[in-house]
């Protein structure tokens, strides 16, 4: 696999492949037959944590291949396991993040993911029911992080059930950053006081301007965050597609608003200001929606953090600067 | 278990199940079942569990492959089987199937008809995929991207044109809502002319209320997707949280504005508007998704344009009403 998914920072050791691994797994050596393995599986003395897969090992404990219980049952007893096993086996290391383990299971369509040490020696597997649970936990975490709720691990997963004060405590930090950002946005508008005094109509469009740019930015960011987490993509191709979609939406929204404002306020200059500001604003939002998660990803941070309030208020400030700059050029 | 009912036709348990499943009757022994499992002619698609059927075909119990292998071949299946079965019906939504697997900690979920006859099972790899699709769907819907069916399964391979089509509707709804917000500000033109300074704070007010609303909504969508919830309990708790956060945010904004602009009345207007606005944002962010849920639509649809722009309009009305009461 060429692309490396960064491991999330701030995870405790409880969130790695090692902590979810079971050790009592069926293994076999290369010369054994299906009958040998099935006999061992049925021997009441050896209790296994999972019987879904049997891992075929070399003498030095490296994985030679894998065979599922279904394949074992369907094969003749005398068949050598080496002849029916799959030799391409996707493995993880003990320190691999749990989310990565789950997504490997998804991509490779396997039920249990084998764990090996740095010498490729077989240690155990992360079983299928655990993988299902990991996927669900990680989803809860991603959604909450994306909406600016802080926390990690178990605490964040159970967050939805917590009380008023612990809930406020987890949610307030991002909101308070928002207050500071919002006050900064206030000073941006204040900076353009002269423009506002001359054209009060500019104030009417502040909410819609902020809203549309933020909405497009959120869409772009969400798609990218989800794609980075679950798919193997060629980043370049993907970025070009997003920029293309952003341009289409920018042109459409800008054109539409130009028409609406023109018929409503009967001023082609005001209409032009709104239309052009939206065009530039939406394009900017697309760029930010693409490049902020990508940068976080490159620096091995969780891209889902980018969905938080920080990026939104940054977008708001940029939108205001674009809006009033365009207005100064066109109207004044 | 609450269950989304949006996609009954296309994405039901029935459409994901495999039919060649290992079954046994009550009088059989472990040896009988294992013999059949090992017969190369019986091409079972799923061997993780063997389902035990009564003579009339009704599903009565289940034995896992691990149990079978760990038992002596003479043991009767009826002694070994677990009778507490987690099942889904053929029309159950795929998300429900995944939730049953999660809550029951089982690898495959059996599908039955209304007479409790076994129809097939949804195998573990499909359950894993369902969970992934549903998660993608949640995230994209929350950000206002509305595809159906298979769109969410492979988001990186949707063409630019099609992706544009999926994203534009919610932006257009937002545009209409945004124009309403424009007319709200327009309505208070006179107040604005007298106190131009009010315009400076529009971004702050709108932003803060949206940020809190988005949090509330995300938590609610997650709750509705996974667990039984008492909506009133959640509503009251969220109202409490909203009020508390409103106090903190309002007080902070009040203090900074007071120091910055040195006008107590203006600072009070901003602080009070934020307190009321943030509290009201939690109400809107629960009311809209929950209404969708009651109408049997996916509550995640409310994300993106609708709730946010509605809250924008409320926020502006609250802000200018408070301003006209305090400043005049």
C-alpha pair distances (Å), B98 with each of A107, B60, B301: 18, 22, 20
Do B86 and B181 fall into the same domain? no
CB contact under 8 A, B222 and A143: yes
Do B187 and B315 fall into the same domain? yes
Is the reported ipTM for this assembly greater than 0.90? no
Q: What are B47-90's pLDDT values in tens digits?
A: 889 999 998 889 999 999 988 888 888 899 999 999 888 899 98
pLDDT of res. B1 = 34
Chain B closest CA to A51's CA: distance in Å? 6
pLDDT averages per 10-residue partition of chain A, 332 residues? 39 73 92 91 78 92 92 89 91 90 83 91 91 86 80 69 80 86 90 90 92 90 79 76 89 93 90 95 92 83 70 90 93 78
Chain B closest CA to A117's CA: distance in Å? 26
**Domains of chain A as residue ranges with CATH:** 13-134 (3.10.580.10), 173-331 (1.10.357.20)
Domain boundary at B130, B150, B172, which?
A: B130
pLDDT of res. B269 = 95
Do B180 and B301 fall into the same domain? yes
Is the model's pLDDT at B21 over the cut of 60?
A: yes
Name the nearest CA neighbour of B245 among B279, B207, B289, B280: B279
Do B166 and B204 fall into the same domain? yes
Do B89 and B196 fall into the same domain? no
Which residues contact residue B299 at a Cβ distance below 8 angstroms, ignoring those fewer than 6 apart?
B220, B221, B224, B225, B289, B290, B292, B293
Measured between beta carbons, the chain B residues lying within 8 angstroms of A219 are: 143-145, 167, 170-171, 304
For residue B129, give both structure tokens: 């995929």
CB atoms closer than 10 angstroms to residue B158? 21
B123 within some domain: yes
Measured between beta carbons, the chain B residues lying within 8 angstroms of A241 are: 160, 163
Read off the pLDDT of each residue in B295-317 and give the average, rounded to a whole number: 83
B149 within some domain: no
B141 within some domain: no
pLDDT of res. A14 = 67
Is B241 an 8 Å CB contact of chain A?
yes
Do B181 and B246 fall into the same domain? yes
B150 within some domain: no
Do B184 and B229 fall into the same domain? yes
Do B186 and B44 fall into the same domain? no
Do B170 and B310 fall into the same domain? yes
Can you give the CATH number for the domain in which B229 is found? 1.10.357.20
Do B185 and B300 fall into the same domain? yes
Task: Produce one character per residue of A211-227: b if its CB has 16 or more CB atoms within 10 Å, e if not.
Answer: bbbbbbbbbbbbbbbbb
Do B62 and B171 fall into the same domain? no
Can you give the CATH number for the domain in which B22 is found? 3.10.580.10
For residue A49, give both structure tokens: 């944590």
Inter-helix orientation angle B264-294/B231-261, to 10°? 160
CB contact under 8 A, B244 and A168: yes
CB contact under 8 A, B174 and A212: yes
CB contact under 8 A, B171 and A256: no
Read off the pLDDT of each residue in B231-254 and give the average, rounded to a whole number: 90
pLDDT of res. B7 = 39
Residues spanned by the domain of B63: 13-130
B6 within some domain: no
B31 within some domain: yes
Q: How many domains does chain B have?
A: 2
B144 within some domain: no
pLDDT-derived band at B148 (thresholds 50, 70, 90) equals low
pLDDT of res. B220 = 84
Name the nearest CA neighbour of B93 among B216, B224, B5: B5
Is B312 an 8 Å CB contact of chain A?
yes
CA-nearest residue to A189 within chain B is: B200
B7 within some domain: no
Do B90 and B171 fall into the same domain? no
């Amino acid at each position: 696999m060429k692309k490396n998914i960064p491991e999330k920072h701030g995870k405790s050791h409880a969130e790695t492949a090692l902590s979810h691994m079971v050790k009592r797994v069926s293994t076999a050596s290369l010369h054994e037959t299906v009958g040998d393995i099935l006999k061992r599986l049925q021997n009441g003395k050896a209790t296994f944590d999972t019987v879904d897969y049997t891992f075929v090992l070399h003498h030095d404990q490296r994985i030679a291949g894998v065979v599922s219980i279904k394949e074992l049952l369907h094969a003749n007893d005398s068949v050598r396991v080496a002849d029916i096993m799959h030799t391409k086996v996707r493995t993880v290391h003990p320190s691999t993040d749990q989310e990565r383990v789950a997504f490997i299971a998804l991509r490779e369509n396997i039920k249990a993911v084998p764990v090996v040490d740095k010498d490729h020696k077989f240690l155990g597997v992360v079983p299928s029911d655990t993988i299902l649970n990991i996927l669900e936990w990680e989803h809860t975490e991603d959604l909450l992080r994306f909406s600016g709720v802080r926390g990690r691990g178990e605490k964040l997963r159970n967050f939805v059930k917590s009380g008023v004060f612990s809930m406020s405590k987890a949610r307030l930090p991002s909101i308070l950053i928002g207050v500071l950002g919002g006050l900064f946005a206030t000073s941006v508008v204040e900076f353009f006081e002269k423009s506002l005094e001359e054209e009060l109509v500019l104030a009417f469009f502040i909410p819609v301007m902020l809203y549309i740019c933020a909405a497009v930015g959120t869409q772009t960011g969400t798609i990218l965050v989800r794609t980075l987490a679950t798919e193997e993509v060629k980043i370049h191709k993907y970025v070009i597609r997003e920029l293309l979609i952003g341009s289409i939406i920018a042109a459409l929204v800008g054109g539409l608003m130009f028409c609406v404002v023109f018929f409503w306020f009967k001023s082609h200059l005001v209409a032009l200001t709104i239309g052009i500001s939206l065009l530039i604003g939406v394009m900017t939002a697309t760029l930010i929606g693409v490049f902020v998660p990508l940068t976080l990803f490159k620096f091995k941070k969780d891209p889902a953090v980018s969905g938080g309030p920080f990026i939104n208020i940054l977008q708001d400030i940029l939108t205001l600067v674009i809006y009033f700059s365009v207005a100064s050029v066109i109207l004044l | 278990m609450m269950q989304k009912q949006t996609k009954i036709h296309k994405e039901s348990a029935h459409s994901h199940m495999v039919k060649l499943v290992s079954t046994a009757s009550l009088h059989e022994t472990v040896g009988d079942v294992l013999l059949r499992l090992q017969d190369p002619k019986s091409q079972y698609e799923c061997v993780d569990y063997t389902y035990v059927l009564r003579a009339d075909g009704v599903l009565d119990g289940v034995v896992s492959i691990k149990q079978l292998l760990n038992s002596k071949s003479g043991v009767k299946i009826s002694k070994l089987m677990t009778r507490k079965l987690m099942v889904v019906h053929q029309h159950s939504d795929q998300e429900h199937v995944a939730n049953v697997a999660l809550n029951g900690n089982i690898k495959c979920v059996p599908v039955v008809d209304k007479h409790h006859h076994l129809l097939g099972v949804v195998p573990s790899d499909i359950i894993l995929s369902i969970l992934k699709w549903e998660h993608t769907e949640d995230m994209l819907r929350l950000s206002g991207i509305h595809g159906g069916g298979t769109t969410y399964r492979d988001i990186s391979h949707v063409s630019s044109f099609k992706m544009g089509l999926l994203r534009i509707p919610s932006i257009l709804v937002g545009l209409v809502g945004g124009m309403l917000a424009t007319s709200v500000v327009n309505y208070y033109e006179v107040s604005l002319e007298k106190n131009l300074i009010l315009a400076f704070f529009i971004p702050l007010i709108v932003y803060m209320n949206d940020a809190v609303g988005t949090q509330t909504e995300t938590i609610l969508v997650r709750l509705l997707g996974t667990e039984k919830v008492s909506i009133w309990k959640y509503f009251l708790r969220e109202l409490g949280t909203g009020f508390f956060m409103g106090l903190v945010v309002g007080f902070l904004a009040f203090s900074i504005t007071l120091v910055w602009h040195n006008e107590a009345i203006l600072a009070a207007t901003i602080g009070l508007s934020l307190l009321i606005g943030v509290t009201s944002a939690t109400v809107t962010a629960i009311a809209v998704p929950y209404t969708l849920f009651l109408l049997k639509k996916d509550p995640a649809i409310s994300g993106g344009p609708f709730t946010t722009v509605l809250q924008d309009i409320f926020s502006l009305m609250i802000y200018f009403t408070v301003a006209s009461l305090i400043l005049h």
